[in-house]
Chain A
Amino acid sequence: MRRTLLKGGLALAGAAAAGGLDRLRPVVYAQPSPAFRIGFIADVTGNVAPSGRDMLDGFQMYLSEKNSMLGGKQVQLIVEDAGGVPANALTKARKLVEQDRVHLLTAPLLANEAYAVRDYVAERGTPMIFMVASADDLTQRKGAPNFVRVGWSSSQPSHPFGEYAATTLKYKRIAVIGSDYAFGYEVVGGFQKTFEEHGGQVVQKIWTPLGTPDFSPYVTQLRRDVDAVYATETGVDVIRFAKAYRQYGLKDKIPLIGGALLSDESLLRGMGAPEDATGIITCLHWAAGLTTLAAKKFVDAYNAKYKKDPSYYAETNYTGGMWIDTAVQRIDGKVDDRAAFLRAMLAVQLPNAPRGPVRLDSYHNPIQNEYVRKVEYQNGRLVNTVIHTFHNVSQFWTFAPAEFLKQPVYDRNYPPCRYC
């Protein structure tokens, strides 16, 4: 009797699970068909899930605006979750390329995931579009012919911003606190290079582990005899850092500037108190407070659909969709001709993306505007308002590419801290 009960229970549970599976299925998936197949490596679980969600939202919003037709071609979007783990990203890339035979891959979120899939995708030759992963070398020393980046390289906004901090904000001495991994080094490195070339001095560098639970020990170490603090934290660390920075009384004494993520819209939403974030100045190719027509249209539509301000993760994926759309249009939907498709992807120029005009340099990284943004509290929410625009900035800023590439990639100890 007991056993039959058990069996019945198991069968019921199995049926329920199967039914649930069906209902949870988020997207069309997986049988090769004549459609235009895009493999989307997402990170919708794990540590970076909030940003990963924004990425998928941005891309799907563009798709739904176009009724799932890009360049007149029906799109089959195949989403695979890598959970923010490099090895999983590689397995998913293999699946999308070999099983689903996708025409185009989107690169995963994190730099370490992007590096994990790099060799495989470079070898297979499947076009891959980078919308978020920003490791400098992916379009510098370790690029590949089939890589197209419509996002950014980590040090790209830092170069103009370093100059801006020295010449416009007139800071002389700055203390730096940053996330202890490649992305943090590259953001800080670009800033330090141009800041010091224009007479500034970085007098302290503190590196904090990813996922620091409590920033008090780090914030209290910061030197007080500086004109400003430059911070570049990642993910929820931003929120904890901003909170500690204000609670220890630094917010009213020393101006806080930093890398783009310090005031990313996805994190502004979660700030403990508005005062934690107001007045922070950062620089990036996107700001939800942009007042151009294209930006406003995008922000309003995104707000209507998802009830939140679009972060750069969302914008860059929306623009990515627009980019692919334009390329496929140019080749009349013949995405099976890989060489032609790739040529079209590289030739795209968007005069009217939400972020402004975008085109590629010869290293496949975008040339785009960089906006200096100041966080303001308006109508009950925190907004990045644009206070200065650098037009058409390349990843090499004003340096000659060949010269620039002779220096090592920005690192924990490069550029060295000469004034520490």
Chain B
Amino acid sequence: MWRSYGGLAAGTAVIAALCALPAVAPTYYLHLLTLTFCYGIMAMSLDLLVGYTGLGSLGHAAYFGVAGYVVGVLATTHAWGFWPAAAAGVLAAAFTAALFGLLAIRATGPYFLIITLALGQVVWGLAYRWVSVTGGDNGLRGIARPVLAAGLSMGRIQVFYYFAMALTLVAALVMHLIVTSPFGLSLRGIRESESRMRVLGYNVFLHKYLVFILAGTFCGLAGVLYAYYNGFVSPADVHLVASANALLMVILGGSGTLFGPLVGSALLVFLQNMLSGITQRWLTILGAILILAVMYAPRGVVGAARTLLARGARVRGTRVSAVEQSHTT
């Protein structure tokens, strides 16, 4: 029991620290954290598929990019306001996921991986070649951050930082509700044994299809946030490398832990930007860290932390019931 209180306390402490940060930290760290939030929502949404349903996707950047490009086109060439453009971006991502889901859900395992990869590259191809709409390789530029209320311009990084943090919290809570709901539990059942769930009378296809659309929608939210933060989108944001990065965040943070990918996103964003300022061999070091992480923390940073906490609890003589332990793994 104490563990969930501990988790709550830790979460509150982190949020409080993040809230106080703009007062003390240099703005560059706010930029990195805002990026962390954008990629974090993306990685958490991917965790719905990878960690909870057992669907490894390598095309997740597609929904991120579709949302970003829709916002880009509407905000620049059609001069739409923030809310309608953002809503359209999220809807477009949901619609894309609904379409791609029909094609991809029938496959499993590596076949699912390859189909999502191919579909993702289709979106990349569109972004790269449909020059009249997407600006091709140059990307779309000039997506201005909106003024929320009088005097509260999101152009200031402090304001945008709070906005991104609030959005991330809401998204994380909603996703948490989803994975702890009966629907979420049946997703885990599908992950463990699809055939058994089918025999028990669950509509497996529908479950997978719905979670696929949900993941795409949340990813679209991340894409919208990112487009307004950076002020531009380019084909690199839709590329396979971007999808692979999201998967790395999930693995590094701990798949099937939901908040883990957020931690993974922070790790990757900070490591990449800090290391690359120190040495040109930063990719080598990053690679070594990833290998070490997979070897010594196969369930990610959050998974490893939970195991350590559980061990500490045992040492202190607190009884950890078998049921509770099985919940955490």
A-side residues, CB < 8 A to B, are: 6, 10, 13, 17, 21, 24-26, 29-30, 44-45, 78, 80-81, 83, 85-88, 90-92, 94-95, 98-99, 111-112, 115-116, 118-120, 135, 180-182, 210, 411-412
Q: Which of B27, B131, B232, B288 has the most CB of A within 10 A?
A: B232
B207 within 8 A of A: no
B325 within 8 A of A: no
How many residues of chain B have a CB within 8 Å of chain A? 34
Q: Is the CB of A182 within 8 A of B138?
A: yes
Q: Which of A10, A44, A120, A135 contacts B231 (CB 8 A)?
A: A120
B residues less than 8 Å from A135 (CB atoms): 138
B44 within 8 A of A: no
A residues less than 8 Å from B279 (CB atoms): 21, 24-26
- The CA-CA distance from A180 to B26 in the complex, in Å, is 41
- The CA-CA distance from A17 to B131 in the complex, in Å, is 45
Q: Which of B129, B139, B277, B288 contacts A116 (CB 8 A)?
A: B139
Closest chain-A Cβ to B139's Cβ sits at a distance in Å of 6
Q: List 20 A-B contacts (CB under 8 A).
A: A13-B292, A17-B285, A17-B288, A26-B279, A30-B277, A45-B276, A91-B31, A91-B273, A94-B28, A95-B273, A95-B277, A99-B26, A115-B141, A115-B232, A119-B141, A120-B231, A135-B138, A180-B129, A210-B137, A411-B131
Interface of B is mostly: helix
Query: Which residues, 281 to 317 on B, are CB-close (under 8 Å) to A?
Result: 281-283, 285, 288, 292, 296
A95's nearest neighbour on chain B, judged by CB, is B28
B280 within 8 A of A: yes
13 additional A-B pairs beyond A25-B279, A90-B230, A115-B138, beta carbons within 8 Å, are A6-B296, A10-B296, A13-B292, A44-B280, A87-B236, A91-B32, A92-B276, A98-B27, A112-B138, A115-B234, A116-B232, A119-B141, A411-B131
Q: Is the CB of B277 within 8 A of A80?
A: yes
- The CA-CA distance from A120 to B272 in the complex, in Å, is 21
B residues less than 8 Å from A26 (CB atoms): 279-280
A412's nearest neighbour on chain B, judged by CB, is B131
A17-B288, A29-B278, A111-B137 known; A116-B273 Cβ under 8 A: no
- The CA-CA distance from A75 to B280 in the complex, in Å, is 20
A residues less than 8 Å from B277 (CB atoms): 29-30, 78, 80-81, 95
Q: Which of A25, A87, A119 contacts B278 (CB 8 A)?
A: A25
B residues less than 8 Å from A44 (CB atoms): 280
B136 within 8 A of A: yes
Q: Which of B31, B35, B139 contacts A115 (CB 8 A)?
A: B139
Interface of A is mostly: helix
Q: Is the CB of B137 within 8 A of A181?
A: yes
Closest chain-A Cβ to B290's Cβ sits at a distance in Å of 13
Q: Which of B26, B232, B272, B276 contacts A98 (CB 8 A)?
A: B26
A97's nearest neighbour on chain B, judged by CB, is B28
A184's nearest neighbour on chain B, judged by CB, is B137
B11 within 8 A of A: no
Closest chain-A Cβ to B31's Cβ sits at a distance in Å of 5
How many contacts A-B (CB < 8 Å)? 99
B residues less than 8 Å from A83 (CB atoms): 276
Closest chain-B Cβ to A232's Cβ sits at a distance in Å of 15
Closest chain-B Cβ to A168's Cβ sits at a distance in Å of 33
Q: Which of A13, A29, A87, A411 contacts B234 (CB 8 A)?
A: A87
B237 within 8 A of A: yes
B274's nearest neighbour on chain A, judged by CB, is A95
B residues less than 8 Å from A86 (CB atoms): 139, 232, 234, 236
B104-132: CB near A (< 8 Å → 1, else 0) gives 00000000000000000000000001010
Q: Is the CB of A119 within 8 A of B232?
A: yes
B residues less than 8 Å from A111 (CB atoms): 137-138
A116's nearest neighbour on chain B, judged by CB, is B232
B142 within 8 A of A: yes
Q: Is the CB of A99 within 8 A of B234?
A: no
A residues less than 8 Å from B141 (CB atoms): 115-116, 118-119
Q: Is the CB of B232 within 8 A of A24?
A: no
Closest chain-B Cβ to A111's Cβ sits at a distance in Å of 6
- The CA-CA distance from A412 to B131 in the complex, in Å, is 8
B282's nearest neighbour on chain A, judged by CB, is A81
B276's nearest neighbour on chain A, judged by CB, is A81
A91-B32, A98-B27 known; A112-B137 Cβ under 8 A: yes
- The CA-CA distance from A83 to B137 in the complex, in Å, is 16
B residues less than 8 Å from A6 (CB atoms): 296
A residues less than 8 Å from B136 (CB atoms): 181-182, 412
Q: Is the CB of A87 within 8 A of B237?
A: yes
- The CA-CA distance from A24 to B281 in the complex, in Å, is 7
Closest chain-B Cβ to A400's Cβ sits at a distance in Å of 26
Q: Is the CB of A98 within 8 A of B28?
A: yes
A residues less than 8 Å from B32 (CB atoms): 91
Shortest beta-carbon contacts, A-B, top 3: A181-B137, A24-B279, A99-B28
